[in-house]
Amino acid sequence: MAVEIMKNNISRGFNLVEIAIVLVIFTLIITGILRGQELINSAKARNLIDQKSSFQTAFIAFSNRYKLVAGDLTTAQASFVANNIVKPSTCGGDGVINFDATNSLTCTAAESALVFQNLTATNLLACANCMTVTTNTAATTANTYINSYSQSLQFGLVGASNSSSGGYWLDPNPTLMPAKNILSTGSKVTAAILQQVDQKADDGAPHSGLFRQSSTDSADTTANCTTVTGSGSTAVYAWTTTGNANCAGAWLF
């Protein structure tokens, strides 16, 4: 009889209390995973903001210390600054920092990587690989400031665009907007992370304020990183928070 009772107890399965305990444990695990991912995404967004702040502080400090523009020095100016400063072979001192050789507005010389080199050489920015840059070399992951996705940041003068095929920084009515110096976040960033950056440091919209959607550094198109309602100057854009498109942002200076 005792053996039969034991068999019945073994085969009776889970009761409601046990099932409830399992569900609670499962819920706690899922909640922990989601909360952990949220914290990771928040940290990635904060890192992009911190990089911008570090760069901005260094760039302004260079200007205040030397009364010159980092990345756009003449031979005489580079000699004055010293510290193994690398200068552009052409177009130095014209007041324009060319984003890269193909997208520059006034000169075909790339100067973006030189900005980071100049700031690093004067101990205003921490970027060991930035010291490997040579004259007019395009910005790459090997010679410039990089984001947490191991993609290169770039700085320089570029124009606006509202084209679905891309542009350098997003504006609904680019014909009315002058070109601006931008600091790109680098690519490989999801739009969801960029939205967090925008919400923490700007107005939350990819088409207005000082933080915009960008297609620099081989990032995906505006159409894949944002959604839009309306058209022309009345268009309203929003970050696309689903999917894992290769996106980028741009800080306007």
How far is 184 from 111, CA to CA, in rounded Å? Answer: 14
The predicted pLDDT at position 104 comes to 63
State how far Cα 246 lies from the chain centre. Answer: 11
What percent of the chain lies above the pLDDT cut of 90?
56
Say yes or no to pLDDT of 220 above 80: yes
* H/E element, 181: strand 180-184
**Distance (Å) of CA 234 to CA 56, 172, 230:** 31, 7, 6
184 — phi, psi (to 5°)?
Answer: -80, 150
pLDDT at 206 over 80: yes
pLDDT (tens digit, 9 = 90+) per residue, 135-185? 878 888 899 999 988 999 999 998 999 886 656 899 999 989 999 999 999
Phi, psi dihedrals of residue 181, rounded to the nearest 5°: -70, 135
* The two structure tokens encoding residue 181: 């110096």
Estimate the crossing angle of helix 16-66 against helix 191-201, to 10 degrees. 60
| Percent of the chain with pLDDT strictly greater than 70 | 83
CA-based nearest residue to 47, from 155, 170, 154, 145:
145
Do 168 and 156 touch, CB atoms closer than 8 A?
no
Q: Which of 57, 55, 138 is nearest to 98 (CA)?
A: 138
- Domain boundary assignment for the chain: 17-54+148-253, 68-145
Considering only 35-44, 119-128, 169-178, 244-253, which range has the smallest mean pLDDT? 35-44
Which SS3 state, helix, strand or coil, does residue 157 take?
strand
Average pLDDT on 181-208 reads: 96
Q: How far apart are CA 59 and CA 253, in angstroms?
A: 11
A 10 A CB-CB count for 218 gives: 13
Res 108: pLDDT: 73
158-163: long-range contacts, CB 8 A cutoff, minimum separation 24: 158/99, 158/103, 158/105, 158/182, 158/216, 159/105, 161/215, 161/222, 162/207, 162/222, 162/235, 163/222
Helix (H, G, I), strand (E, B) or coil at 43: helix
pLDDT of amino acid 34: 54
CA distances from 89 to 79, 123, 171 (A): 14, 23, 33
The whole model's pTM is what?
0.82
Question: What is the per-residue pLDDT for 244?
Answer: 84
Q: Residue 151: what pLDDT? A: 92
pLDDT tens-digit map of 4-39 = 544 555 555 667 777 777 766 766 666 666 556 666
